Chain A
């Protein structure tokens, strides 16, 4: 009944050294202490760990002595019976005990299978002292990051583009090419945020004007493309290089997006910078030799004097306009006689009359501008002065009263006036004396009574002839028409009395936009010197210098110091895509004030209502 213990150790090159020991006993002890027959130098083994008892020729029983068990074929146990002829593998700490049978003896091969400490194991010095094991390799992470970037920000967006290329509107949700967007679209284009293909139609083809025109149809061109190109200031070196590149890649010049830049962030689209105007207009006459436009670069310091359109005379009844610079001190011939000073005086008879009529007409202590001038519904300009509405409360044309009804001469129709006066004299009698009443027969001898009779009926006979005198009086100095109008008397080509034509200019600045509504903070007199104007031909429109008392250039430049400067780019008054309406920037401002609506106030350039004749 022997046990054959084989202690196996290995040389550094892995060769096995076996030291066999034969023990003739039926009971073996295993433990860390040297008194054990199987002595395991292993701190994970208990000093007296287990016993091995031989039961018969083949069988042994292994029992743990303490609380710590051991492994049999990888299974932890406290006690196990083993048939040595079939073999088994026991594990105590770092040691492996392989049980077998060699003829009569039961063999136990003992071998240390683990290094005695972690540090004693094979270690790649280069590796353990570096971060190599702790972090993903530089090469691996480099390529994976790069691949991730290319997939997420190149391949995926291109896939998005190709899947929706011909779609009008994409479904809501995430689209990978949004990661290419350099910024949010402006408020006006916010609905296109998801639809890159609306503008970016073809790959590597710069956004074309056709894309814009899909929605913005009928936008006015500023000028023919050839003249635009000729007017432009030549670009600097950088600009020329960029143009050369643009040309190489088939990017046409003068695209909408050159001025109207997008992806600049949410909110309103920023107005195009003044520089875009000044690039051409600052020295326009040097490049467009035949231009009639004067150079303008900045309202504050480089703007030509205004040229209001004033009436210079009439052809027939049609007013003739001429744009004349304020430098030439233009006067206007409206056909009317109207001294503003007389009407705006605070002390004269006009003011007194105004006070008398104040209750019915809403006048104040004296007449004010608003008493005669009514603004149009948009507040931009003023309606033409209307005789019946704005003058007749004082300048009455009443000539007769029937019961409680006043009969008035018809304004604007001299022939009718003449006819009405003649009819008045024909159809009415002088005041009938009261003693001519009744059907009583006249008694002889009452001569005085006969005198009244003759005087009255004599007058009745000659009354219609008095009409001509009345007509002449109406059209002559002191008469109702003559007060305000220039009169042509009968004679020569004129068969009868006639009134010269009258016109009022509704818009003096045809190339620029002026909005009275935007100037509500100012009094009328601060721009219009009406209280001192003695003649209707005075042009009461403010000139450039007057505007410049508040308005400075787009970047704040001014010739004189301005107390409360209003920075004014070209776009405040002018439109690039000019139509009859307000400039884009004004519309934007009004829209903002009115909460988002953007009305196009397309009014005729000149409102020409002839109010009297």
Chain B
């Protein structure tokens, strides 16, 4: 164990101690294991002559089904396991690595278990749910591999409370600057203040597009108002205009942040609930198969 940890990771300069993510944990140990498992399953499928043809009810089908079901239950346990971080051979990272690669091998095992017989029934439903869970997980890996960099670049070392404080500060200044304005202009500023910067549904969050942004609308309206006025530095509108521009900038950053965070999170809203749906459908599948044997 101790010697194993000291061994330099291939492909890296000696002495360089980089972080080893769950994907390349132990030089892709679990990827190798999962690939081997899949290859054995595929080879078995083609080499073993099941009569009259492959399906979930042959001995090979039962075998694959049992392995698949146990795998699904074990993969689900990551939800419990992740709550206690430990090191070593059975570290959380090792678990996560195994979760990812064994989860992917389930595509092979599950599909072979079906014998490519699909229909509108609970059996195919369980398969479809499994595939949804795996594909959402695949997206999750992609998100975890690519988005944190973008998230960090966008934040520029601002924390979330700092972003919120910046918004509040701009709002206070806008509020003060808007006091001398005529009512219809004040209403524009007020609409910017009233709009929830965290509002909008899931689609807005994921797309990062907010066509009804009141701040942008207010700024555009005020620009129209000031377009033909000379900037003498004494019109309160000029100050409001400048503040709205600043607010738009900070809003853009917040919204990019929200978008990236949403993309990082959204798959779990599919992955986790559908996993439970899958386990329920899997139970129904197993019970039904033996109920109507």
Contacts and interface: CB of A to CB of B under 8 A. Distances in A.
A129 B257 contact: yes
A138 B272 contact: yes
A128 B186 contact: no
B168 A120 contact: yes
Interface in A415-457: none
A149 B172 contact: no
Contact of A196 (B52, B189, B289, B292): B292
Contact-residue size bin, chain A (C-beta under 8 Å from the other chain): 35 or more
B234 to A, nearest CB: 17
B10 interface: no
A141 B193 contact: no
Contacts of A120: 168, 171-172
A125 to B, nearest CB: 5
A146 interface: yes
B35 to A, nearest CB: 23
Nearest to B200: A134
Contacts of A154: 280, 283-284, 287-288
A238 B66 CA distance: 13
Nearest to B197: A119
B183 A46 contact: yes
Contacts of A33: 180
A117 B175 contact: yes
A117 B168 contact: yes
A177 interface: yes
A181 interface: yes
Contacts, number: 191
B291 A146 contact: no
Contact of B160 (A125, A204, A245): A125
Nearest to A161: B291
Query: Which interface residue of B161, B181, B275, B276 has the most chain A CB atoms within 10 A?
Result: B276
Interface string A137-159: 01001110111111001100110
A117 B276 contact: no
Q: Main SS of the interface on chain A?
A: loop
A122 to B, nearest CB: 11
B52 A270 contact: yes
A113 interface: no
A206 interface: yes
A146 B279 contact: yes
B201 A134 contact: yes
Contact of B193 (A43, A131, A177): A43
Given A43-B187, A142-B276, A270-B52, A129 B283 contact: no
A275 B49 contact: yes
Contacts of A134: 201-202, 205, 262
B277 A129 contact: no
B265 interface: yes
Nearest to A127: B198
B141 interface: no
Given A118-B193, A131-B205, A145-B280, 19 more contacts: A41-B176, A43-B178, A44-B186, A119-B164, A119-B168, A129-B257, A131-B265, A142-B272, A153-B281, A153-B285, A154-B280, A154-B284, A154-B287, A179-B120, A180-B123, A200-B291, A238-B59, A242-B59, A275-B52
Interface of A: 32-33, 41, 43-44, 46-47, 66, 68, 116-120, 123, 125, 128-131, 133-135, 138, 141-143, 145-150, 153-154, 157-158, 161, 177-184, 196, 200, 203-207, 238-239, 241-242, 245, 249, 251, 261, 270, 272-273, 275-276
6 contacts: A116-B172, A123-B164, A128-B164, A135-B202, A177-B288, A238-B60
The 9 closest A-B pairs by CB, nearest first: A117-B193, A149-B280, A117-B171, A145-B277, A242-B59, A206-B293, A142-B276, A141-B273, A238-B59
